[in-house]
Amino acid sequence: MDLVLFDLDNTLLNGDSDFAWAQFLIGKGVLDREVQEAKNLAFYEQYKAGTLDIFEFLDFQLAPLARHSRTQLDAWHEEYLATMVRPMITDKARHLVDEQLARGALVAVVTATNAFVTGPIAREFGIPHLVATIPAQEGGAFTGKPRGMPAFKAGKIERTEAWLESLGLHFGGFARSWFYSDSHNDLPLMTRVTNPVAVDPDETLRAHAEGAHWPVISLR
């Protein structure tokens, strides 16, 4: 059995689910447009530049989850999935995922975006496993804080290894492993697998991939 890991934002999706979720809440009037939109844009630029403080960002991104009931959040997420996420899913992305699932690989989404936002998106693709930043809960309500290590940069390796261990598996048990990503932030995990693939990569990742002779593909 092979291991196949997919980044989500700007890889399987032609867009960023984290950024889009905040913009969705701004559009609903849940977040103040004047203040929150500027912050959302600033964090997104920091992410692309590789300078993002993940804990500062999570304070911003997870706070709305703590202010609303799970029933309300789930209802908003259904609308968000239909109006903002599904238009980001290309036929090429669906075909690649379906192809990997059909050949019997162990397939997971590995994303820094929190599991509340990304769980339904992974299910939309039919991907059975999700490795993501975990928003902490108490009594079924979100606290506004992450639980454990965020799945960001080297944290993706830590969380992926913990997930594999929970299945009684480990990286070394796979003769072949893949990780598909668009971002230089994912270089730690990309260098951990046997077959890294750059997908519509940013400039830094493209240069690294070309220098290392990694495949570069487009799902757009």
Whole-prediction pTM: 0.94
pLDDT digits (tens, 9 = 90+) for 68-94: 999 999 999 999 999 999 999 999 999
pLDDT of residue 182: 98
Question: Count of domains in the chain?
Answer: 1
196 forms beta bridges with: 179
Instruction: Domain of residue 171: give its range.
Output: 3-217
Starting from the edge strand earliest in sequence, which strands make up the sheet with 129-138, in order? 141-147, 129-138, 106-114, 3-6, 177-181, 195-199, 216-217
pLDDT digits (tens, 9 = 90+) for 198-207: 999 999 999 9
Mean of all residue pLDDT scores within the chain: 95
98 counts as catalytic: no
Domain with residue 211: its CATH number is 3.40.50.1000
91 counts as catalytic: no
pLDDT digits (tens, 9 = 90+) for 144-200: 999 999 999 999 999 999 999 999 999 999 999 999 999 999 999 999 999 999 999
What does the CA dihedral 212, 48, 86, 217 come to, rounded to 10 degrees? -20
Question: Is the pLDDT score of 135 beyond 80?
Answer: yes
| Residue 205, SS3 per DSSP | helix
Question: Is the pLDDT score of 107 beyond 90?
Answer: yes
- CA dist 57 and 55 (Å) reads 5
pLDDT of residue 104: 97
Contact 179, 5 (CB under 8 A): yes
> Smallest Cα–Cα separation from 27: which of 37, 39, 40?
37
Catalytic choice (2, 7, 16, 91) = 7
**C-alpha distances in Å from residue 174, one per residue of 16, 66, 106:** 30, 39, 10
**C-alpha distances in Å from residue 106, one per residue of 4, 102, 207:** 6, 10, 29
- CA dist 200 and 124 (Å) reads 21
In this prediction, residues 209-220 reach a mean pLDDT of 97
Catalytic choice (2, 9, 32, 98) = 9
In this prediction, residues 116-129 reach a mean pLDDT of 98
pLDDT digits (tens, 9 = 90+) for 13-43: 999 999 999 999 999 998 888 778 888 889 8
